[in-house]
Amino acid sequence: MRSALAEVDGVTVKEVAMPDKAVVTVDRGKVKNEQLIAAVKKAGERYSATID
């Protein structure tokens, strides 16, 4: 999941507490919630995304 999120321009991966949680910092001018969700889905079926 770390590498999938890190590929999104404007995302800094702060922490990945495997297997099910990632904390990221985003540049709101560059990143949309949909991009983060798509990156998590790309990482595999076992992951899901929640935006706080």
What confidence tens digit (pLDDT) does each residue in 12-27 have? 776 777 666 777 888 8
For residues 33 and 37, give the distance between their C-alpha atoms in angstroms, rounded to a whole number.
6
- Amino acid at site 12: T
What share of the chain in percent tops pLDDT 90? 0
| pLDDT one-digit tens code per residue, 27-50 | 888 888 888 888 888 887 777 777
Q: Where are the domains of the chain?
A: 2-43
Torsion, CA 6, CA 32, CA 9, CA 36, rounded to 10: 20
Q: Which residue reads 């991966």 in tokens?
A: 13
Task: Enter the pTM of the model.
Answer: 0.66
The rounded Cα 24 to chain-centroid distance in angstroms is 7
